[in-house]
């Protein structure tokens, strides 16, 4: 009965009440078991109370209640997610000492923790320690290390690990190839990435959705936007319907390259209803064709239009965002309104920019420092120092 109540309290984030119940159990000589301790350790970890969780582990061992795999797994996963790889390694050693043998998954969790911290030497040491203990590494083990090497710019090590897999009887998965492709594109090694893609397909491994996203992103960011667009068109022709992520990749690159018409044309291709006369009509047709723009898509286009001094069109797009239920959260809202304010100021339309600011406030969106800075900066440039000072004084009260 006590364990059931403790479990319910921990799930409701009432860990202190659960700990009080533990004290009551001890006072009444109620036997504590592995479930009692494991539940409390899990509850403490969920609240980031690591020291108490570790003390709880030591306490249960001192009371000859032996942790099971679930107990250790809970603590290991939580510590690694918080970047506490060194503490995780101590827990693993306790597992070994207590005869609760960690498997490749547990070691993988620890390796991933060290990779996230950028401690690749320690991650590789853990890998070899696992092998020395007779635990065969899995494909996941290799994927974790390869991903860590790529993110920490150790590409030769990543390639060596990739080439080692077949020698260990392991076949690279689509996840392995995606990790390698993302890493290679990330450092501009497009030729090598293309070769790896060809090798992958020659071995019967078909690209998945994420592979295509990696290819589009990698090609567009490495000045191969035409090749990325060609791939996009090939996907459409092959019956693969590019989703909003793929559209965002190309639209973002077109806008950053100042190719606003190409960004519009990409929207335009999504409609079967003919040419659009304005951007708002284009966006509505895009949604009607079951391609739903997200906040990133809208903000990208709004920013580009404002830079082209098309603030009025950008404001119409903002209205479409609200109408279509793609309303940004408060932080994104401030960014969107800030972009639009700046767009009007670039056109010299000070009054319109101020209207946007008040419109934001009227909708219950609290201006942040950036919002005020945009307006104060414009007041100063227009020699309206008094208004700028009034806003400056107003900021602390907001």
Q: What is the pLDDT of residue 202?
A: 92
Please state the separation of Cα 2 from the chain's center in Å: 39
Within 8 A by CB and 6+ apart from 289, the residues are 270, 271, 272
Contact 160, 120 (CB under 8 A): no
Instruction: Give residue for tokens 């090609």.
Output: 219
Could you tell me the CA-to-CA distances from 31 to 61, 65, 202, 282 in Å, in that order?
14, 10, 61, 69
Contact 263, 255 (CB under 8 A): yes
pLDDT digits (tens, 9 = 90+) for 211-248: 999 999 999 999 998 899 899 888 888 877 777 678 77
Of 26-35, 204-213, 257-266, give the lowest mean pLDDT range.
257-266
Q: What is the pLDDT of residue 49?
A: 82
Q: What is the pLDDT of residue 299?
A: 72
**How do the domains of the chain map onto residue ranges?**
328-398
CATH topology of domain 328-398: 1.25.40
Q: What is the pLDDT of residue 142?
A: 93
Within 8 A by CB and 6+ apart from 332, the residues are 295, 299
Rounded distance, CA 393 to CA 220, Å? Answer: 45
Rounded distance, CA 80 to CA 91, Å? Answer: 11
Closest CA to 193 of 204, 172, 177, 174: 177
The rounded percent of the chain whose pLDDT value lies above 90 is: 18
Q: Is 147 left (phi over 0), alpha (psi -120 to 50) or beta?
A: alpha
Q: Binning pLDDT at 50, 70 and 90, where does residue 124 land? A: confident
Higher pLDDT, 278 or 229: 229
Higher pLDDT, 266 or 390: 390
Rounded distance, CA 137 to CA 146, Å? Answer: 13
Mean pLDDT of the chain: 79
Q: Binning pLDDT at 50, 70 and 90, where does residue 277 land? A: very low
Is pTM, for the whole model, over 0.75?
no
Q: Binning pLDDT at 50, 70 and 90, where does residue 276 land? A: very low
Please state, as a whole number, how many other Cβ atoms lie within 10 Å of the Cβ of residue 247: 23
Closest CA to 53 of 32, 78, 18: 78
Within 8 A by CB and 6+ apart from 42, the residues are 10, 74
Higher pLDDT, 222 or 54: 222
Higher pLDDT, 292 or 299: 299
Rounded distance, CA 79 to CA 94, Å? Answer: 15
User: Among the residues of 118-258, which ranges form H helices?
Assistant: 120-132, 139-151, 155-167, 174-186, 190-202, 209-221, 225-237, 244-256
The rounded percent of the chain whose pLDDT value lies above 70 is: 79
Direct distance between the N- and C-terminal alpha carbons of the chain, in angstroms, rounded to an integer: 50
Q: What is the pLDDT of residue 272?
A: 33
Q: Binning pLDDT at 50, 70 and 90, where does residue 328 land? A: low
Mean pLDDT over 252-265 rounds to: 74
pLDDT digits (tens, 9 = 90+) for 360-387: 888 788 888 888 888 888 888 888 888 8
Higher pLDDT, 325 or 164: 164
Q: What is the pLDDT of residue 163?
A: 92
Contact 111, 148 (CB under 8 A): yes
Of 117-126, 308-317, 332-341, give the lowest mean pLDDT range.
308-317
Rounded distance, CA 354 to CA 341, Å? Answer: 7
Higher pLDDT, 145 or 246: 145
């Amino acid at each position: 009965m006590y364990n059931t109540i403790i479990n319910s309290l921990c799930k409701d984030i009432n860990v202190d009440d659960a700990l009080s119940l533990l004290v009551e159990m001890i006072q009444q000589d109620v036997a504590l078991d592995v479930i009692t301790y494991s539940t409390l350790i899990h509850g403490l970890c969920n609240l980031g109370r690591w020291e108490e969780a570790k003390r709880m582990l030591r306490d249960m061992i001192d009371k000859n209640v032996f942790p099971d795999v679930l107990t250790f797994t809970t603590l290991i996963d939580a510590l690694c997610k918080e970047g506490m790889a060194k503490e995780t390694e101590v827990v693993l050693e306790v597992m070994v000492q207590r005869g609760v043998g960690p498997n490749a998954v547990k070691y993988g969790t620890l390796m991933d923790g060290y990779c996230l911290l950028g401690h690749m030497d320690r991650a590789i040491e853990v890998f070899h320690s696992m092998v020395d203990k007779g635990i065969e590494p899995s494909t996941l083990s290799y994927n974790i290390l390869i991903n860590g090497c790529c993110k920490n710019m150790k590409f030769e090590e990543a390639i060596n690990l990739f080439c080692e897999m077949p020698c260990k009887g392991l076949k690279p998965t689509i996840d392995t190839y995606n990790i390698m492709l993302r890493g290679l594109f990330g450092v501009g090694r497009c030729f090598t990435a293309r070769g790896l893609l060809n090798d992958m397909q020659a071995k019967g491994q078909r690209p998945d959705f994420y592979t295509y996203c990696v290819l589009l992103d990698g090609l567009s960011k490495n000045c191969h936007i035409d090749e990325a667009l060609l791939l996009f068109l090939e996907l459409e022709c092959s019956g693969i319907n590019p989703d909003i992520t793929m559209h965002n990749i190309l639209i973002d690159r077109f806008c950053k390259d100042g190719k606003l018409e190409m960004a519009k044309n990409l929207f335009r291709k999504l409609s079967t209803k003919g040419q659009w006369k304005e951007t708002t009509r284009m966006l509505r047709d895009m949604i009607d064709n079951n391609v739903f723009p997200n906040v990133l898509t809208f903000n990208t286009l709004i920013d580009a239009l404002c830079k082209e001094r098309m603030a009025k069109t950008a404001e119409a797009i903002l209205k479409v965002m609200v109408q279509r239920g793609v309303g940004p959260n408060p932080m994104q809202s401030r960014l969107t309104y800030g972009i639009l304010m700046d767009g009007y100021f670039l056109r010299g339309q000070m009054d319109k920019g101020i209207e946007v600011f008040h419109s934001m406030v009227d909708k219950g969106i609290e201006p942040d420092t950036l919002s005020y800075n945009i307006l104060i900066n414009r007041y100063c440039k227009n020699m309206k120092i008094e208004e700028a000072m009034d806003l400056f004084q107003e900021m602390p009260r907001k």
